[in-house]
Amino acid sequence: MGGKPSFPVQPLPDDRIFVVTGGNAGIGYEMAKWCAMMGGKVVIACRSEVRARKAIEKMQEEFQSEKGKGTKGLTENPKLAVEFMELDLASFTSVLKFCDEFRKSGRKLHVLCCNAGICYSHGRKTEDGFEMMLQVNYLGHFVIIAKLLSTMRASGQDCRVIFTSSIAHDSGIFDLNTLQYDEKFEKHPELEYYSRSKLYQVMQTYEMARRFKDSNITFNSLHPGLVDTEIFNEAESCFDRCCIGCVRKIGAMRTSLEGATTGIELATNPKQKGVSGYYWVDCKQTMSSSTSRDAERQKELWDKTLELIQQYLTDAEKTGLEGK
């Protein structure tokens, strides 16, 4: 990758298990592929089995290509250990089913990459009644973590949770009274709600890192840069489409691999063992917004979040979130 941020390619233990939400495309695809190419067992958690199968087939082809180039540090296995599990973050029914099936499989879980997300909702709410970006980007991942914490705590040392957040969190407004919009959607700028969801992820990182500081699980969030992925395909306004087109034309967007670099580093580098509670940009610990670092607001968000999702958690899972 020349002078750009990079991650070390080195063999991973072949029993190390990764889950990457949205691992069938974009940043998640590269994260899943490289974790697998280094020898990890990877679960791609996404909505479409057809798209996931095509992604896995492409990964296998690119793995053979990397081996043909003599890339060092790749697994000696003849094929990548990647599989699909269905997950629709916009449906808590799907989220609960995914978590239940994962636990019943008897797998351990060492690295959970909370990567899937959307940038446009067009005023839609989920079947559960939540603002779409709030649930897909934040609440859905929160429930997955809560339900799989016990699995991670029983999976041995060096377990990691990684959030693909965004520098957009800087402009996120912290107002729990308008966590959900109750008026006409047009009164709430769409990208404002995207920024809020990303702010919540960074705040969750800090709160969870503090609660689980003496555990085997670490929590980190990252900004991948402005990456040319499918997340922009839902743009509808002429202004947004024009801006995206101009940025693409001048080559200011990163590739998916460039955007995934920090996430791959956090997921695979042994040097990141025990490192927790940071916001990362270009593989470096960076200062996030002052709002995101406000411990009192982090606790307020935590309490409000539990109020919203409590019906989806068991008493044991609620207790587990206390860090005990």
Residue 46's pLDDT band (boundaries 50, 70, 90)? very high
Radius of gyration in angstroms for the set of CA atoms belonging to the chain, rounded to a whole number: 19
Residue 135 CA, chain-centre distance (Å), reads 13
Tokens matching residue 215 = 């555990």
C-alpha to C-alpha distance for 20 and 43, rounded to whole angstroms: 6
Q: Model confidence over 221-254: pLDDT tens digits? A: 999 987 655 544 444 444 344 433 333 333 446 7
* Topology at the third CATH level for domain 17-320: Rossmann fold (3.40.50)
pLDDT digits (tens, 9 = 90+) for 160-187: 999 999 999 999 999 998 887 665 555 5
In eight-state DSSP terms, residue 24 is T
* SS3 at position 285: strand
Question: Out of 45-59, 117-131, 138-152, 268-282, which region has the weakest mean confidence (pLDDT)?
Answer: 117-131
pTM: 0.91
Task: Extract the tokens encoding 277.
Answer: 């509670």
Q: 8 φ, ψ to 5°?
A: -75, 135
DSSP state of 253: S
Q: Helix, strand, or coil here: 234?
A: coil
Q: How far is it, in rounded angstroms, from Cα 150 to Cα 35?
A: 23
DSSP string, 59-102: HHHHHHHHHHTT-TT--SSSS--EEEEE--TT-HHHHHHHHHHH
For the chain, helix (H) and strand (E) counts, in that order, are 10, 8
Tell me the CB-side half-sphere exposure of residue 236, using CA atoms within 13 A. 6
Q: How far apart, in whole angstroms, are the C-alpha atoms of residue 254 and residue 259?
A: 6
Sheet containing strand 159-164, strands side by side:
82-86, 41-46, 17-21, 111-114, 159-164, 217-223, 278-281, 284-286
Res 140 pLDDT > 60: yes
SS3 of 44, please?
strand
Q: Domain segments of the chain: what residues? A: 17-320
What distance lies between CA 6 and its chain's CA centroid? 19
